[in-house]
């Protein structure tokens, strides 16, 4: 297939959306003729439109959150290219300005919108959009469990106290992530070390929260780790306290990476997580208002630290390796091309 991937991301894959697009490109380029174009940098370039037309793609896949602008751009692609070209959009988060999308939904629909949660699927389907489920993936070779001796060496490498129970979170440092939870955790128990690895992205960064977390004695790193798997591997538990689906992709890659390292995971019932994972074998869901989440997480941490749980989170995430996700995406493409 000839596939044109359109995104607005470049640079290091240090946050969910970038990482998702990076891995799709990485694996699908091995099997198909692919061009990848940054829309934000090239939309007003004549060469951009010329390159796409000369490439004559069978699939245009847009990795931009659906809103009035991105849907209009998808419409332009449809008018500009052959009627045989199929237009695909991926919605890793709920649509922006849903009320306005509802108004224009009759004017243009991409051939399919790929979603991750039941809620987002429902929003698009009620407007008559064709949808399909596309989960996030994980590199199950890079992210893997390690022995106790390797964990100790990693703690020494990163200067982390071997005696502490290490709780990890990876993602943007902003208000919508509900990171205040971690201040409560370190205050509650001095034997718990909290590590937060924040994105290097400046536009989605809250400096006040960053300093509040550091003041509470959380370890907060804002840098790109090429070997980020080592941070998971030196940890004892992964916590994902986010409630608002506007502040992370709906199946967060960090949760899947932690599971691939066979860490116990405590998570809110966020986005599409409960669609693919079960509350068992070290994967623990907590539910409720933001004000309640901290105490519930602390209670679950005590359960994990008791040693009474069997931890098999890696087993749950193995079906979602990136090669499998890309194979599933290829099947979606093929189905569209058959539906003339």
Q: What is the pLDDT of residue 223?
A: 87
Q: Please report the pLDDT score of residue 149 as a whole number.
A: 96
Cα distance between residue 224 and residue 327, in whole Å? 29
Residue 11's pLDDT is: 65
| 102 Cβ neighbours under 8 A, 6+ residues apart | 127
Six token digits for residue 187: 């205050």
Number of Cβ within a 10 Å radius of residue 312 = 14
Name the strands in the sheet holding 131-133, side by side, starting at the edge strand that comes first in the sequence.
Answer: 33-38, 2-7, 59-63, 86-90, 112-115, 131-133
Handedness of CA 154, 317, 94, 37 (dihedral sign): positive
pLDDT in tens, the chain (340 residues): 999 999 877 667 767 788 899 999 999 999 999 998 887 777 767 788 888 888 999 999 999 888 888 888 888 888 888 778 999 999 999 887 777 777 777 677 899 999 999 999 999 998 889 999 999 999 999 999 999 999 999 999 999 999 999 999 999 998 889 999 999 999 888 899 999 999 877 777 889 999 999 999 999 999 889 899 999 999 999 999 998 888 899 999 999 999 999 999 999 999 999 999 999 999 999 987 777 888 899 999 999 998 889 999 999 999 999 999 999 999 999 999 987 6
| Contacts (Cβ under 8 Å, ≥6 apart) of 276 | 135, 251, 320
Res 15: pLDDT: 72
């Amino acid at each position: 297939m000839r596939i044109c991937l359109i995104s607005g991301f470049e640079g290091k894959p240090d946050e969910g959306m970038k990482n998702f697009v990076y891995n799709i490109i990485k694996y699908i380029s091995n099997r198909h003729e692919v061009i990848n174009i940054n829309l934000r940098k090239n939309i007003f370039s004549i060469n951009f439109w010329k390159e796409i037309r000369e490439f004559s793609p069978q699939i245009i896949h847009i990795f931009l959150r659906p809103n009035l602008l991105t849907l209009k751009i998808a419409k332009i692609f449809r008018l500009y290219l052959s009627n045989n070209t199929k237009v695909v959009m991926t919605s890793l988060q709920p649509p922006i300005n849903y009320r306005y999308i509802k108004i224009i939904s009759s004017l243009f629909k991409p051939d399919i919108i790929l979603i991750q949660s039941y809620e987002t699927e429902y929003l698009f389907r009620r407007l008559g959009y064709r949808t399909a489920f596309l989960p996030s993936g994980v590199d199950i070779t890079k992210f893997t469990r390690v022995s106790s001796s390797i964990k100790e060496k990693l703690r020494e490498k990163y200067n982390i106290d071997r005696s502490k129970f290490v709780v990890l979170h990876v993602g943007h440092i902003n208000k919508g992530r509900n990171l205040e939870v971690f201040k409560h955790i370190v205050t509650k128990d001095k034997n718990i070390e909290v590590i937060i690895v924040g994105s290097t992205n400046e536009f989605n960064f809250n400096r006040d929260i960053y300093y509040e977390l550091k003041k509470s004695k959380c370890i907060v790193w804002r840098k790109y780790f090429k070997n980020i798997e080592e941070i998971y591997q030196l940890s004892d538990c992964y916590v994902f306290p986010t409630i608002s689906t506007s502040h992370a992709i709906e199946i967060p890659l960090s949760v899947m990476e932690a599971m691939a390292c066979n860490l116990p995971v405590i998570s809110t019932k966020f986005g599409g997580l409960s669609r693919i994972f079960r509350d068992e074998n070290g994967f623990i869901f907590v539910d409720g208002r933001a004000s309640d989440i901290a105490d519930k997480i602390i209670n679950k941490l005590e359960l994990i630290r008791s040693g009474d749980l069997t931890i098999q989170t890696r087993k749950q995430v193995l079906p979602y390796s990136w090669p499998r996700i890309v194979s599933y995406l290829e099947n979606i493409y093929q189905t569209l091309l058959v539906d003339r």
